[in-house]
Structure 1
C-alpha cells in the first residue's frame, strides 16, 4: 500500500470515529496522519471540525482550517466548515473573502456557498442582498430540500423587511 493510500485509509477510519462519536480516537488518528505527513491538508480540516464543533475551541479550529487551506486549497470540505465557523464568530470580512474564493473551487456545491452568502448578509441586516443570494442557492440546486430551505430563508427575510 502506498503512502497516500495509507493516509486516506486512516482519514476514512477517523471519519467513522467522528460519525460514531469517538472523538478522542478520531483526534489520535488525525494527529497520526499529520505525524506521517504534515502536508496532508485534509487531516487539518477534520481536526478543525472536531475542535470547532465537538470541543468548542474555535481559535484552534480556525488555525487548523487555515492550515488546511494552505496545504490543500482545492479541498472543497474546508470551505464549508471554515465558512460556518467564521459565520459563528461574526468575522464577516474574512467570511466574504473565503466565500469569494470558494465559489470558484472545482467540485464545490455552489448552492451551498450561495446559501452561506445569504446567511452572512441576513445576519448583517443586508436583507436585499441576502434574498438575492438565497435565490441563487434555490436556482442552482436540484435538491428539493435545499430549494425549500432557500424559499423559507427568502420568506424569513421578507418578513424581517416588513418589520423595518
Structure 2
C-alpha cells in the first residue's frame, strides 16, 4: 500500500470515529496522519472540524482550517467548514473572501456556497443581497430539500423587510 493510500485510509477511519462520537480516537488518528505527513491538508480540515464543533475551540479550529487551505487549497470540504466557522464568529470580511475563492474550486457545490453568501448577507441585514443569493442557491441545485430551504429563506427575508 502506498503512502497516500495509507493516509486516506486513516482519514476514513478518523471520519468513522467522528460519526460514532469517538472524538479522542479520531483526534489521535488525525494527529498520527499529520506526524506521518505534515502536508496532508485534509487531516487539518478534520481536526479543525473537531475543534470547532465538538470541542468549541474556535480559535484552534480556525488555525487548522487555515493550515488545510494552505496545504490543500483544492479540497472543497474545508471551504464549507471554514465558512460556517467564520459565519458563527461574524467575521464577514474574511467570509466573503473565502466564499469568493470557493466559487473557483473544482467540485465545489455552488448552491451551498450561494447559501453561505445568503446567510452572511441576511445576518448583516442586507436582505436584498440575501434574497438574490438564496435565489441562486435554489437555481443551482437538483436537490428538492435545498430548493425548499431556499424558498423558505427567501420568504423569511421578505417578512423581515416588512419590519423596516
CA RMSD across the alignment: 0.2
**Matching of residue 137 in structure 1 with residue 137 in structure 2:** yes
| Map of 2:158 onto structure 1 | 158
Instruction: Please report the TM-score for the alignment, with normalisation by the length of structure 1.
Output: 1.00
TM-superposed CA distance for 1:54, in Å, is 0.1
TM-superposed CA distance for 1:126, in Å, is 0.1
| Map of 1:49 onto structure 2 | 49
TM-superposed CA distance for 1:4, in Å, is 0.2
| Map of 1:101 onto structure 2 | 101
TM-superposed CA distance for 1:44, in Å, is 0.1
User: Where does the alignment leave 5 or more consecutive residues of structure 1 unmatched?
Assistant: none
| Map of 1:79 onto structure 2 | 79
Question: C-alpha distance in 2, partners of 1:68/1:4?
Answer: 16
| Aligned residue pair count | 164
| Map of 1:148 onto structure 2 | 148
Instruction: Please list the CA deviations of residues 32-91 of structure 1 after superposition, one character each: whole Å capped at 9, or x if unmatched.
Output: 000000000000000000000000000000000000000000000000000000000000
Question: C-alpha distance in 2, partners of 1:105/1:124?
Answer: 26
**Matching of residue 65 in structure 1 with residue 84 in structure 2:** no
Please list every run of at least 4 consecutive aligned residues from structure 1 whose deviation after the TM superposition is greater than 4 angstroms: none
| Map of 1:28 onto structure 2 | 28
Question: C-alpha distance in 1, partners of 2:113/2:24?
Answer: 30
* Secondary structure at 1:106 match in 2: coil
User: Where does the alignment leave 5 or more consecutive residues of structure 2 unmatched?
Assistant: none
